[in-house]
Amino acid sequence: MVFAYDGTSYVEATRQFPDRLTAEIQQAEADLTEAVARPLPADAPSQFAYEEQESVALRLFGLHVLFGDADQALPRIESRVAPPVAQWLATNAADARAAIADRYTLTADD
């Protein structure tokens, strides 16, 4: 989150800094590539096998929500992860978008 002084108080202003968001998206893209390439933990219970991919994919999706191109980014993210992660993300994307919209006071047009 980025805060900016509006003359009377500090307000959330993350979306006003697209260069910062772009840098964060690039880092999340690299992190997702690493997470997908990493072998799954052999001893992890099946419900936890893809936690890292889910976490990084969700972070990347959230950044795209803030950037304003989540609809275009979601299929690309889903195509890069394991099928269970793609399904998990598809199932949870709307709730994630709503939570981010609420926290960052985004409108339906954002």
Instruction: Give me the pLDDT at residue 1, please.
Output: 67
- What average pLDDT does the chain have? 88
**Does residue 52 carry a pLDDT above 80?**
yes
Return the higher-pLDDT residue of 107 and 54. 54
Report long-range pairs for 95-98 (Cβ below 8 Å, ≥24 apart): 96/58, 96/61, 96/62, 96/65, 97/65, 97/70
Q: What residue has token string 């880092």?
A: 27
Average pLDDT over residues 32-51: 87
Average pLDDT over residues 22-50: 90
Instruction: Give me the pLDDT at residue 104, please.
Output: 74
> What is the DSSP code (8-state) at residue 8?
S
The domain ranges of the chain are 17-103
Average pLDDT over residues 94-106: 84
